[in-house]
Structure 1
Amino acid sequence: MNQDRLTPLDDDAITDAAAHWCMRLHAEDCSAAEREAFAQWLAADTRHAEEYQAMLEIWHTADMLPRATHVTELPAARSHQRNWRPLASAAVITLLALPLAGWVGWEQGWLPNRYQHFDSDQQVRTVQLHDGSQVELNLNSELRYLNYKDRRQVDLIKGEAFFKVTHDSEHPFIVRAGHGQTRVTGTQFNVWKYEDQVKVTLVEGSVLVSSNSGEGGYRLGPGMQASYSIGDFEPQLAQSDDYANSLAWRSGRLVLDNLSLSQALPVINRYLDKPLLLADSSVGNIRISGIYDTRDVNRLVNNLPKVLPIYLTRNDNGSTVINRILPSSDKG
């Protein structure tokens, strides 16, 4: 059989088997013989590991699987991020078809009935979620969408996204990013994430932004921004008259409006393979302005010594380091 093509029956069989092994390997009574049988099934076809990984991610996202210590680990080569085949979304349907776990999981709001995964590489991408909401993904961004009985949930894994959310007052739309979340029923807003830093910019409607460390949350109005990072008890709020700068990426522009380098670097580094680094804190106080192409941020980096009193070096890891040019001492 051609290993690159599957019939619908083949698809269903692999999905059913992946669902079975996902539950059995996390069961307390899973035997050594079963684990050996799973290892043989896994080795029989490369698609088995792919589908099992898809099943694991869905269950772990829903917090339904215990972190069992005896579960067979997939080979490292299998665990990288990949483009999800249409079969992956069918994994949820298979889980929901299981009589007890599926029904209880859906009714209790533990398991979704819809799952979508999107990413972008070197171009901005617009996608539509199952509920009709539209999302624009910035370069090098990734998210997943899960539809639960009582809510719609997006996990922004990395990057930046602009949301136009379909109104549904009975099913709130929640974006989880970093160590906090944004909750809406229908509105337009932007979420930017870099490492553990997150910034939410509201364009239309209202949103409730909260950090995982605090309680409640803060409601934003149009033009307001909320920022948080790991350990923050509450988001930092700001009213911005020029919040459009935060949305300039939608037209391929990176706008730096009189920012210090310490403020600008997280924004710039989003577009680089290796992050820019500051040689010391004094370099971070130097300010920068300009409008740049998000698809050619390396040119911005190379031109920094032409517009700022700095010079560039490379460290042992190959990252570019920004150093300050100290003023010459007065000669007596």
Structure 2
Amino acid sequence: MSIISDKHITAQAEQWFIKLQSDKLTEAQFSEFKNWYNSDQTHQLEFNRIEKDWSTISRYTNQQSYQTYKNQHRNSQKRQYYYKAAAGLCVLLIGLSVFFHFSFEQTQSKLYQTHVGEQASYTLTDGSRVTLNTNSQLEVSFEQSLRKLSLISGEAYFRVAKDKSRPFQVSLSSGLVTALGTEFSIKVDKHNASVVVTEGTVKVEERKTPSNHQPESKQLTVNDSVSFTSRGLGKVTKNINDNLVSWKEKFLVFDSRPLEEVISELNRYLPYSISITDKLQRTILISGTVNLDNPETALRTLLKNNDLEFDDQELIVHES
């Protein structure tokens, strides 16, 4: 039986119960009641239930008639409805205030930064995770339809939360990187930048300038890397190894890298700068691992393993 028919039977049963309480039923009406009562078992069950309920209600209250009780009950229900409606309105207003406050907060720029030799990880409001490498600055300004970030300096690794309705865009001085549910790193070095994709797909595109009306764009997939330079996008490098993002695991890996590149990279993690006076030494190939928890000690070991050392005072690399 449907809910509508159940309510209809209940209403009929209540009407008949009220009429029977009034003692003003004619013989014809009483006969009509008996016909209704005997015509369906559900009529009997509902009428008997009301009669039993009223017996209990009248025993413990001062109600004189079922009609009076129903009227008061209806008014009580109305009051409860208004109370619930008022409470619901309060909840709605609180929710809206939180929403607008949240929206306001979302559009405000927030700056994340690390000092020299420091690394830090952050969870953004959309659930994305960002790890900043040494001496880095990242500005985050999320909007309702766009997740805007700007890597001002340094290096960052992004683990992007999926949200197709809000693209995740990292702005660079030389271009733009857009991702949807992916993992990638970006390294900024003065006017140049490099992007490495470790999961998913990202789109990289040059910044539009007066001299570049048709900026180039490329799509990178897993283990792809590309660099931005002052001349535009470079060639995509395929099948890169994990060494390019090993810094987020607190170590650097060098595999036959020129000493000049190794020292340049390590200078980012040290409170001082190491220089190489001998031009011939700059091209010496270096292999090894540097633990970023103690980069200076690791550097000494790395250089020693390659028959090199540096002077504490002048910080000049020379052969041992």
Q: Is the shorter-chain TM-score for this pair beyond 0.5, marking a shared fold?
A: yes
Q: CA shift at 1:154, angstroms? A: 1.3
In 2, Cα distance between equivalents of 1:269 and 1:194: 13
Counterpart of 1:128 in structure 2 is 123
Q: CA shift at 1:113, angstroms? A: 1.6
In 1, Cα distance between equivalents of 2:167 and 2:314: 42
In 2, Cα distance between equivalents of 1:296 and 1:197: 28
Point out the structure with the larger helix share. 2
- Is contact 2:225–2:238 with CA below 8 Å preserved after alignment? yes
- Is contact 1:140–1:158 with CA below 8 Å preserved after alignment? yes
Q: CA shift at 1:150, angstroms? A: 4.2
2:110 to 84, 106, 116: 116
* Secondary structure of 1:276 counterpart: coil
In 2, Cα distance between equivalents of 1:302 and 1:162: 28
- Is contact 1:194–1:266 with CA below 8 Å preserved after alignment? no
State the TM-score, normalizing by the size of structure 1.
Answer: 0.56
Counterpart of 2:288 in structure 1 is 290
In 1, Cα distance between equivalents of 2:173 and 2:273: 19
2:275 to 274, 277, 301: 277
Query: Judging changes above 3 Å, is the alpha-carbon distance between structure 1 residues 309 and 123 closer, same or farther for their aligned structure 2 residues?
Result: closer
Counterpart of 1:222 in structure 2 is 222
- Is contact 1:116–1:129 with CA below 8 Å preserved after alignment? no
* Secondary structure of 2:236 counterpart: strand
- Is contact 2:109–2:140 with CA below 8 Å preserved after alignment? yes
**Equivalent residue letter for 2:282:** G
In 2, Cα distance between equivalents of 1:181 and 1:261: 31
Query: Judging changes above 3 Å, is the alpha-carbon distance between structure 1 residues 225 and 265 closer, same or farther for their aligned structure 2 residues?
Result: farther
Q: CA shift at 1:123, angstroms? A: 4.7
The number of residues matched between the two structures is 214
Matches within 5 A, 1:110-189: 113-121=107-115, 123-189=118-184
Deviation beyond 4 Å, 4+ runs, structure 1: none
- Is contact 1:211–1:232 with CA below 8 Å preserved after alignment? no
Q: CA shift at 1:293, angstroms? A: 0.8
* Secondary structure of 2:294 counterpart: helix
Query: Judging changes above 3 Å, is the alpha-carbon distance between structure 1 residues 237 and 275 closer, same or farther for their aligned structure 2 residues?
Result: farther
Q: Computing the radius of gyration over CA atoms, which structure comes out larger, 1 or 2?
A: 2
Unaligned runs of 5+ in 2: 1-99
Query: Judging changes above 3 Å, is the alpha-carbon distance between structure 1 residues 218 and 283 closer, same or farther for their aligned structure 2 residues?
Result: farther
* Secondary structure of 2:135 counterpart: coil
